[in-house]
Amino acid sequence: MLQSLTKINFLLSISARSFSLQMNSSKRFKRIAPKRNKSVRLSQSCNDSERCANKSSKSVIVRTRTTPRHNQTLPQPKLKIQSSLVSDPCFRDTTILPHDFFQIDALDLAPRLLGKFLRRDDVVLQITEVEAYRPNDSACHGRFGITPRTAPVFGPGGNAYVYLCYGLHTMLNVVADKEGVGAAVLIRACAPVCGLETIQQRRGQQTEKPILLTGPGKVGQALGISTEWSYHPLYTPGGLELLDGPEPDKILIGPRVGIEYALPEHVNALWRFAIADTPWISAPKNTLRPP
DNA sequence: GAAAAGATTAAA
DNA sequence: TTAATCTTTTCC
């Protein structure tokens, strides 16, 4: 496992002076990861006790749990995550990005998210590809205004917006800009940094190849999140966090994927951003070019 | 109340 | 190339 992660980090080819991505203690992460009982494992889309409790449509998960819910509190896993942060040299210097970081135009935020880290439990992913969705954008979910589904998009920047696509895939967005604006950045692809075994388990694929994490639905699955994670603040410790990371040397830009229904000006807008020289990019790759 | 479509994925 | 799969939104 150590060998494979080292290989993956090599492939990233990012200047990471202050970020040693070497994983010299993978087994420690495994030990620190909160244990899940069988019922939770069945649905990896909901491992968070508070969210499961609020779940209505997927109450099957709640019913099948063996541990009484009221015995589980949020601070416990939070502390464990903190201890792993301190004890592992890999992430000693990393910091959670502050609330202010996200209060900008999605078009500015999107490229700035490249190279940053998403962390949940023992899983750490590095963001390699994103898309910006903005106000007055005929491809943005916010185009319908504030609805039950899209309300999170109009929340303050730094929250998560998770939606279900094709009834199957959970898509993670980082809400951008001020409250009420209605902008977000879709995470389209990541590279694995820590917790490879958990990622593979959640994905159901025993591979280290880019097929593991190159696609927005794959990222959501690897992080084990559901739509219940909408509104979750990424700038506070616990749950899902966005950590600072190295700025990529070179990036690529291109038109966004799968928005043929939008107006031509938005279909053609170059609002897709990716790290150059990494294999962790989703399809299609041939529409990406240097700026 | 019904119908259509979707910021996709994996397998054939 | 195509099936899987279901929520959200729009239209009548």
Q: In this structure, is the CB of residue A218 within 7 Å of any atom belonging to strand C?
A: no
* In contact, A237 and A78? CB cutoff 8 Å: yes
Tokens coding A14: 């990012």
Q: Rounded to two decimals, what is the model's pTM?
A: 0.76
Q: In this structure, is the CB of residue A286 within 7 Å of any atom belonging to strand C?
A: no
Q: Which helix (H) or strand (E) holds A184?
A: strand A183-194
Q: In this structure, is the CB of residue A71 within 7 Å of any atom belonging to strand C?
A: no
* In contact, A108 and A134? CB cutoff 8 Å: no
* In contact, A116 and A191? CB cutoff 8 Å: no
- pLDDT tens digits along A128-154: 999 999 999 999 999 999 998 999 999
Predicted pLDDT at A93: 57
List of A residues 162-181 with CB within 7 A of strand C: 163-164, 166-168
Residue nearest to nucleotide B9 (CA to C1'): A217
- Our measurement of CA A287 to C1' C12, in angstroms, reads 40
Between the CA of residue A111 and those of A66, A116, A271, A275, what are the distances in Å? Answer: 43, 10, 9, 9
> Is residue A91 very low, low, confident or very high in pLDDT (cuts 50, 70, 90)?
low
- Our measurement of CA A164 to C1' B8, in angstroms, reads 10
pLDDT at A41 over 70: no
Hunting for tokens 């009420």 — which residue is that?
Answer: A180
- How far apart are the C-alpha atoms of A43 and A209, rounded to whole Å? 24
The nucleotide minimizing the C1' distance to residue A144's CA is C9
Predicted pLDDT at A94: 72
Nucleotides of C under 7 A from a protein CB: 4-10
Paired with A163 in beta bridges are: A171
How crowded is the C-beta side of A172, counted as CA atoms within 13 Å?
35
Higher-confidence residue of A52 and A237: namely: A237
* In contact, A25 and A3? CB cutoff 8 Å: no
Q: What is the DSSP letter of A67?
A: S
- Our measurement of CA A228 to C1' C11, in angstroms, reads 29
- Our measurement of CA A219 to C1' C1, in angstroms, reads 24
> Is residue A217 very low, low, confident or very high in pLDDT (cuts 50, 70, 90)?
very high
Region A70-95: what's the mean pLDDT?
Answer: 40
- List the one residue out of A116, A111, A102 whose CA is nearest residue A16: A116
Region A113-133: what's the mean pLDDT?
Answer: 97
Q: Which helix (H) or strand (E) holds A175?
A: strand A169-176
In sequence order, which residues have a C-beta less than 8 Å from that of residue A71 and are 6 or more positions away?
none
